[in-house]
């Protein structure tokens, strides 16, 4: 009986030992499996983190590239706009300038004269206009050639630019050898004085004109007209008066200044004679 009990207890102990062993083995295997799964999760997490970091860096790089590209495009666009503006301004200047002398051309002169006449009427201010013509210019061209004639035209334009340089003054070539000067805000007395100074300066430059009956140098005839404050005059009437005064200066012997009557523009009024230079024809 005791042997049976001992044997039974031994079997129970053995069974318990086997079960315990199997349980331990199962837990060890499960633990390893969990470790493997955790390791896999960690690897996946690490890879996901690395992929995310890589994607973030690539995105930042693309953003930087795009920003740089946009900045470059903006700079290029701005530069192109500046170039276009400068080009248009250059074309605009060319459209307003006489190709030979570089001063205003007839088209721009007409525009400015109309603008200034309207301004003078609106603001009740003075306005003067001078029309200048090179004496015996055809004879100069025939005698010395057109290249020299072009040289003389440039010299006259330079002299006009030097003398009439106020803001608002406009010097223009309005015909072959004919020039004009618009003088906003200038009354007749000052315009006459400045016209005589111009005539005298041209004469003193002693620009060769070997075919001139007046001497061996270039001279100019100047016609002028002035609008008094509040006087209602059109641009056409002012130009016509100045032009007629210039032709009267030529008919009176050239190399002189003649001004139109300020009231009517219909006749030429005698003006003060300065060293026989400013003349008038009745």
CB of 264 closer than 8 Å to CB of 245: no
Closest CA to 254 of 177, 173, 187: 177
The rounded distance, in Å, linking the Cα atoms of 97 and 92 is 9
* Strand pairing category for 127-134 and 220-227: antiparallel
Catalytic residue among 116, 177, 192, 196: 177
| Residue 255 CB-density burial (10 A; 0-12 exposed, 13-18 middle, 19+ buried) | buried
For the packed helices 146-163 and 137-144, what is the interaxial angle rounded to 10 degrees?
140
What are the φ/ψ torsions at residue 8 (nearest 5 degrees)? -60, -45
Closest CA to 136 of 45, 217, 200: 217
Asked if 178 is an active-site residue, the reply is: no
Active site residues: 177
């Amino acid at each position: 009986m005791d042997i049976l009990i001992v044997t039974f207890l031994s079997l129970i102990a053995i069974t318990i030992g086997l079960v315990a062993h199997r349980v331990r083995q199962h837990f060890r295997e499960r633990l390893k499996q969990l470790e493997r799964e955790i390791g896999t999760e960690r690897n996946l997490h690490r890879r996901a983190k690395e992929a995310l970091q890589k994607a973030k860096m690539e995105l930042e790089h693309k953003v930087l590239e795009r920003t740089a590209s946009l900045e470059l495009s903006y700079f290029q666009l701005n530069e192109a706009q500046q170039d276009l503006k400068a080009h248009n301004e250059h074309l605009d200047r060319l459209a307003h300038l006489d190709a030979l002398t570089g001063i205003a051309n007839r088209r721009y002169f007409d525009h400015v004269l109309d603008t200034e006449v309207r301004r003078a009427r609106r603001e009740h201010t003075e306005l003067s206009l001078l029309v200048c013509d090179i004496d015996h210019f055809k004879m100069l061209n025939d005698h010395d050639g057109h290249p020299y004639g072009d040289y003389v035209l440039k010299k006259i334009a330079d002299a006009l630019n030097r003398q009439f340089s106020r803001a608002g003054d406009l010097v223009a070539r309005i015909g072959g050898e004919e020039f004009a000067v618009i003088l906003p805000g200038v009354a007749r007395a000052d315009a006459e004085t400045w016209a005589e100074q111009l005539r005298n300066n041209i004469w003193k430059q002693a620009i060769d004109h070997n075919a001139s009956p007046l001497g061996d140098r270039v001279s100019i005839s100047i016609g002028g007209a002035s609008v008094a404050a509040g006087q209602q005059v059109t641009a056409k009437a002012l130009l016509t008066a100045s032009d007629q005064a210039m032709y009267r200066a030529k008919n009176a012997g050239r190399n002189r200044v003649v001004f139109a009557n300020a009231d009517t523009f219909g006749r030429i009024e005698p003006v003060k004679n300065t060293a026989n230079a400013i003349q008038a024809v009745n």
